[in-house]
Amino acid sequence: MTDFRKAILAALELPRQPFPSGVLLDELKLLLENLGIETAGTIVQNRTTPDPAYLLGKGKAEEARLFAASAGATLLVCNETLTPGQRANLREITGLEVWDRPFVIMKIFESRARTSEAKLQIDMALCRYEIPHLKGLGAQMSRLGGGIGTRGPGETEFERHRRKLDRRVRDIGKKLRVMKRKRTLQRDRRKKMNIPVASLVGYTNSGKSSLLRVLSADSTLVAEDRLFTTLDTFLRKVYLPSGKNILVSDTVGFLRDLPPGLVTAFRTTLEEITGSDFLLVVLDAAAPDLQEIRAVVEQTLEEIGAGEIPRIFVLNKSDLLLPETRTALEERFRSAGEAAVAVSALEGTGIPELLSLVDDFLLTRGDNPPERG
């Protein structure tokens, strides 16, 4: 569901943080735009450590309340992950609904989910997010109950809701385990076919779906210029110049500070990546923070256990670069010993070179890539 609201964004500028607050706030603004939420303004506070009670500090929280009132905002969105106490305290002092970055990302995933598996994975992540925040919901969670289905007259609304969420997590877990077994069987069947499998991986909105559509000549694949269009794995056959073919899968995009709960919930889907013979790492060649994005992608691959899988870097959206810039970028990757090619999925340029590179890549590693679990 899309919200038509205004939000105040808040972030901390901390010593030695990996990304500047300005970069993270720009990305958070873009994330909110995908939910139809307008950013009315931003607040940044320099601190050595987050305030344990309010994240920002009580004075800055008061400032956020006044800022929101003057701007007509009803939502405070913090870039940092909030503890249940911080979220409750900010809500009390500002009178605003309070979100943090993980919740925003989960809301986008929720709006994009199409298949039953994706919906279950999002539901799992949201339940796990909500459980520790229950005690911050106020007095209504402290009321005693004694109705049908409760544990007795001494059970609080918090305890009742906690049991409900715990039961939901267990039920979803059972369903996802069934889906995991099905995926494992599918991967085993593909291995027996002895067809190499590649996964398209990269930052969200880097053009992975557009690339798969071009490579497979399947115009039915959805490719849109927005974040997290793909939450499900799509597998398509791609023919190489040598006459051989490979299977290429599209996977969920990565992001800075992707919530651990989402990574856990999407473990079944991400196993498609770890079971690949090689990776096609798709990067937005025209992104001003290309090297930072590459670092995020490689760190995420390490975290999910795919750091050692052979890879080809696909420098997409190269039509936005000058020819000499595009050539220099390719050379920079190649001089570092990486297999890389500049392409434009939109215009179809560089695709023949990419397919030839995949052919050569497989040839140098033998026709039978190493088995992976």
Domain boundary (80, 102, 124) is at: 102
Q: Is residue 369 part of a domain?
A: no
The percent of residues in the chain predicted with pLDDT above 90, rounded, is 49
User: Do 201 and 341 fall within a single domain?
Assistant: yes
Taking the C-alpha atoms of residue 265 and residue 125, their distance in angstroms, rounded to an integer, is 6
Taking the C-alpha atoms of residue 154 and residue 142, their distance in angstroms, rounded to an integer, is 11
Q: Is residue 107 part of a domain?
A: no
The percent of residues in the chain predicted with pLDDT above 70, rounded, is 84
User: Do 55 and 200 fall within a single domain?
Assistant: no
CATH number, residue 38: 3.40.50.11060
* Beta bridge partner(s), residue 189: none
What pLDDT, on the 0 to 100 scale, is given for residue 141?
45
The pLDDT of residue 151 is above 60: no
User: Do 207 and 329 fall within a single domain?
Assistant: yes
Which region among 51-65, 77-91, 100-114 has the lowest average model confidence (pLDDT)? 100-114
* Beta bridge partner(s), residue 283: 315
Q: Is residue 272 part of a domain?
A: yes
Which tens digit of pLDDT belongs to each residue from 294-350?
998 999 899 888 999 999 999 999 999 999 999 999 999 999 999 999 999 999 999
User: Do 117 and 83 fall within a single domain?
Assistant: no
Mean pLDDT of the chain: 84
What range defines the domain where residue 159 resides?
113-173
The bridge status of strand 97-100 relative to strand 155-156 is unpaired
What pLDDT, on the 0 to 100 scale, is given for residue 369?
43
What pLDDT, on the 0 to 100 scale, is given for residue 106?
85
Q: Is residue 77 part of a domain?
A: yes
What pLDDT, on the 0 to 100 scale, is given for residue 229?
55
Taking the C-alpha atoms of residue 114 and residue 117, their distance in angstroms, rounded to an integer, is 8
The pLDDT of residue 137 is above 60: no
Q: Is residue 148 part of a domain?
A: yes
For the stretch 56-66, what's the b/e string if a residue is b when 16 or more beta carbons lie within 10 angstroms of its beta carbon? beeebbebbbe
User: Do 261 and 338 fall within a single domain?
Assistant: yes
Structural tokens at position 325? 């810039």
Q: Where are the alpha helices (DSSP H) in the chain?
A: 21-33, 58-71, 84-94, 101-112, 116-133, 157-193, 208-216, 260-265, 267-274, 290-303, 323-335, 351-364
What pLDDT, on the 0 to 100 scale, is given for residue 223?
55
Say whether 332 sits in a helix, a strand or coil: helix
Domain boundary (55, 83, 102) is at: 102
Q: Is residue 371 part of a domain?
A: no
User: Do 20 and 134 fall within a single domain?
Assistant: no
- The top-scoring range by mean pLDDT among 14-23, 334-343, 360-369 is 334-343
CATH number, residue 326: 3.40.50.300
Taking the C-alpha atoms of residue 232 and residue 152, their distance in angstroms, rounded to an integer, is 43
User: Do 286 and 321 fall within a single domain?
Assistant: yes
Pick the closest to residue 201 from 361, 309, 123, 121 (CA basis): 309
Domain boundary (69, 102, 135) is at: 102
Pick the closest to residue 343 from 306, 373, 315 (CA basis): 315
What pLDDT, on the 0 to 100 scale, is given for residue 39?
96
Structural tokens at position 98? 């309070």
Pick the closest to residue 215 from 254, 253, 249, 252 (CA basis): 249
What pLDDT, on the 0 to 100 scale, is given for residue 142?
47
- Is residue 148 very low, low, confident or very high in pLDDT (cuts 50, 70, 90)? very low
What pLDDT, on the 0 to 100 scale, is given for residue 232?
55
User: Do 295 and 331 fall within a single domain?
Assistant: yes
Q: How many distinct structural domains can be found in the chain?
A: 3
Q: What are phi and psi of 144, to 5 degrees?
A: -85, 145
User: Do 202 and 345 fall within a single domain?
Assistant: yes
What pLDDT, on the 0 to 100 scale, is given for residue 253?
78
The pLDDT of residue 143 is above 60: no
| Angle separating helix axes 58-71 and 84-94, nearest 10 degrees | 50
Q: Which pTM does this prediction carry?
A: 0.75
The pLDDT of residue 49 is above 80: yes
Strand order of the β-sheet with 339-342 is 234-239, 245-250, 197-202, 278-284, 311-316, 339-342
- Is residue 275 very low, low, confident or very high in pLDDT (cuts 50, 70, 90)? confident
User: Do 40 and 130 fall within a single domain?
Assistant: no
Q: Is residue 63 part of a domain?
A: yes
